[in-house]
Structures are given as structure tokens and as C-alpha cells.
């Protein structure tokens, strides 16, 4: 009986669903309207920022902070790849407010805020590989001045500082949300483990009760056997007396 109940418990534990530890992903993967790329995109950095645009692509697509970004039907999506793996991003990314609505027109006329703009086109894989180091070393500003003559250093610094502060806030918020979700899942697992331990204790107690009942039955059986033997002896004596 004890082995049967223990086996049942192990089977229940093996078949019980286990909560899945969710990752830090902000949204969910899905299929978006495709963007046609005649070739691997070349990117241009917008002056005064670390935002990269793809001027040869008709659709709006950006590269910033290690992610590809694109809006679609009033929502934003991001991916580690420019042509796949898009996931919903629940708010407008902070960098987008620093993207002028007429940047394409400025690009076509080689001008930025009224100044001559000599754009430098960069293959996307170079940007993906070097963007972080370029941002830390202020590569586009120090080496190329973003290709814009007489850029205003104070305005650039101010915009970059705002970007960095907002990015830090977004990162902290995302990390806090992820930590909170993990804590909640851990609490669920602890509660489930506690319930399983209580069930196991209940089964153990029931096994003890069954063993005690079995022992009682065995003792009772022995008593009945003794009584039956004594009764048989008395009957035998009675028969012997009658025969004599």
C-alpha cells in the first residue's frame, strides 16, 4: 500500500505543470509588413545624435542603441536584425523625438539645419559592430563632426545628455519590471512547492494510519486464531468425554 501511494505521488509531481520563467523581452514576436531591401542597407548617422537612418529604404527604419526600430500602424517594433525578428515595443522610443520629420529632405539637399552636410554612408554591419565604441568615443563628433559645418557643440551635448538620461530611465524601468515578474514567478513556485510538501505530508500521515490499521487487523487476526484454537481444544475434550 505504501509503495503504491508513493508511486502515485511521484507520478503527480512528474506530470504537474511547471511555471515558465519569462525572459526580459518587452513584447511578442510577430510578422510585420515586409520591407523590400534591394541590398544590405547602408546607414547614415543623423547629426548631433547616435541615431542611424537608412536613406535608401522607403519605409521608416532606424538603428539605435544596438536595436533596429520601425513604426507600423501606430505601434513601434524593434529587432536585433533589420529584416526579421520584430517584437512589439509598448511605447514610442525616446530617441524618436530627436528625429526631424524632414530628415529625408535634408539628406537629399545635403543640408542640416541650414548648414552644409556631407553625409558618410556606412554599411550596416560596420554600424552593428562598432556603434557602442563609436558612441563612447564620440566618434562621429570628434572625427567627422557628423559631416556638418559649424555644428553647435552645446546643442549637441544637451541633446545627447537628454537621450542618455531617458535611456537610463527606460533601462531601469524595464529592469525593475523584469525583476518584479521574476519575483512573482518565484513566489508562485515557492507556493506550489509548499503545497506539494503538504500533500506529501498528508500522504505520509495516511500511510502511517494505514500501517497502524493493518497492524491492528493483524493483531486481531492473531487473537481470533488463538480463540479458534482454544475453542477447538474445548470441543475435542468434550468429544472425548462423551466417548468415554
pLDDT at res. 156: 55
Single residue among 151, 166, 195 that ends a domain in this structure: 151
Q: Annotate 42-69 with DSSP letters as a single string.
A: EEEEPTTSS-EE-TT-SS--EEETTEEE
- Does any domain span residue 218? yes
Q: Is 48 exposed, middle or buried (0-12, 13-18, 19+ CB in 10 A)?
A: buried
225 inside domain: yes
70: number of Cβ within 10 Å: 21
The residue segments making up the domain with residue 143 are: 26-151
Q: Are residues 143 and 228 in the same domain?
A: no
Instruction: Report long-range pairs for 132-138 (Cβ below 8 Å, ≥24 apart).
Output: 132/66, 134/50, 135/50
32 and 142 both lie in a single domain: yes
pLDDT digits (tens, 9 = 90+) for 21-51: 333 334 444 557 678 777 889 999 999 999 9
DSSP 3-state of 244: coil
Residue 198 lies in a domain: no
Return contacts of 73-78, CB within 8 angstroms, 24+ apart: 77/27, 77/32, 78/26
Q: 96, 129, 151: which is the final residue of a domain? A: 151
For 55-108, write each residue's pLDDT tens digit: 999 899 999 999 999 999 999 999 999 988 999 999 999 999 999 999 999 999
The answer to the question of residue 161 being in a domain is no
Which has the closest alpha carbon to 41: 65, 57, 60, 64?
A: 57
Q: HSE of 30 in the Cβ direction (CA atoms, 13 Å)?
A: 12
Q: What is the CB-side half-sphere exposure of residue 83 using CA atoms within 13 A? A: 9
Q: Does one domain contain both 54 and 135?
A: yes
- pLDDT for 75 equals 94
Is there a domain that residue 230 lies in? yes
Q: What's the number of CA atoms in the CB half-sphere (13 Å) around residue 230? A: 6
Query: Which grid cell sits at 148?
Result: 556638418
Are residues 230 and 119 part of one domain?
A: no
Residue 185 counted as domain residue: no
Q: Report the greatest alpha carbon distance in the chain.
A: 142
Is residue 167 situated within a structural domain?
Answer: no
The answer to whether residues 111 and 221 belong to one domain is no
Domain limit, last residue, from 151, 185, 203: 151
Same domain for 143 and 220: no
Does 147 lie in the same domain as 31? yes
Global pTM reads 0.52
Q: Any bridge partners for residue 72, and if so which? A: 75
How many domains is the chain partitioned into structurally?
Answer: 2
Burial of 44 (0-12, 13-18, 19+ CB in 10 A): buried
Mean pLDDT of all residues belonging to the chain: 80
Q: Are 66 and 132 a contacting pair, CB within 8 Å?
A: yes
Say if residue 47 is in the same domain as residue 136.
yes
Q: What local confidence, expressed as pLDDT, does residue 160 receive? A: 63
pLDDT at 234: 86
Q: Are 36 and 143 found together in one domain? A: yes
Summarised one tens digit per residue, pLDDT across range 152-183 is 555 555 566 666 677 778 777 887 888 788 87
- 141 occurs within a structural domain: yes
Which of 22-31, 93-102, 142-151, 225-234 comes out lowest in average pLDDT? 22-31
Amino acid at each position: 500500500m505504501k509503495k503504491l501511494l508513493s508511486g502515485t505521488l511521484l507520478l503527480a509531481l512528474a506530470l504537474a505543470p511547471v511555471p515558465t520563467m519569462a525572459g526580459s523581452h518587452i513584447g511578442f514576436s510577430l510578422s510585420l509588413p515586409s520591407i523590400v531591401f534591394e541590398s544590405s542597407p547602408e546607414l547614415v548617422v543623423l547629426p548631433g545624435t547616435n541615431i542611424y537612418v537608412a536613406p535608401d529604404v522607403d519605409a521608416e527604419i532606424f538603428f539605435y542603441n544596438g536595436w533596429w526600430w520601425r513604426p507600423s500602424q501606430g505601434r513601434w517594433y524593434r529587432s536585433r536584425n533589420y529584416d526579421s525578428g520584430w517584437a512589439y515595443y509598448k511605447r514610442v522610443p525616446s530617441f524618436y523625438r530627436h528625429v526631424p520629420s524632414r530628415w529625408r529632405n535634408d539628406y537629399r539637399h545635403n543640408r542640416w539645419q541650414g548648414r552644409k552636410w556631407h553625409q558618410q554612408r556606412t554599411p550596416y554591419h560596420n554600424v552593428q559592430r562598432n556603434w557602442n565604441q563609436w558612441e563612447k568615443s564620440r566618434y562621429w563628433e570628434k572625427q567627422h563632426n557628423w559631416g556638418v559645418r559649424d555644428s553647435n557643440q552645446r546643442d549637441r551635448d544637451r541633446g545627447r545628455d537628454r537621450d542618455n538620461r531617458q535611456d537610463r530611465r527606460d533601462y531601469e524601468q524595464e529592469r525593475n519590471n523584469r525583476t518584479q515578474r521574476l519575483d512573482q514567478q518565484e513566489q508562485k513556485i515557492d507556493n506550489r512547492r509548499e503545497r506539494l510538501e503538504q500533500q506529501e505530508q498528508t500522504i505520509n500521515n495516511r500511510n502511517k494510519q494505514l500501517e497502524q490499521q493493518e497492524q491492528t487487523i493483524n493483531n486481531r487476526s492473531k487473537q481470533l486464531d488463538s480463540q479458534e484454537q482454544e475453542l477447538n481444544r474445548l470441543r475435542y475434550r468434550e468429544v472425548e468425554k462423551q466417548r468415554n
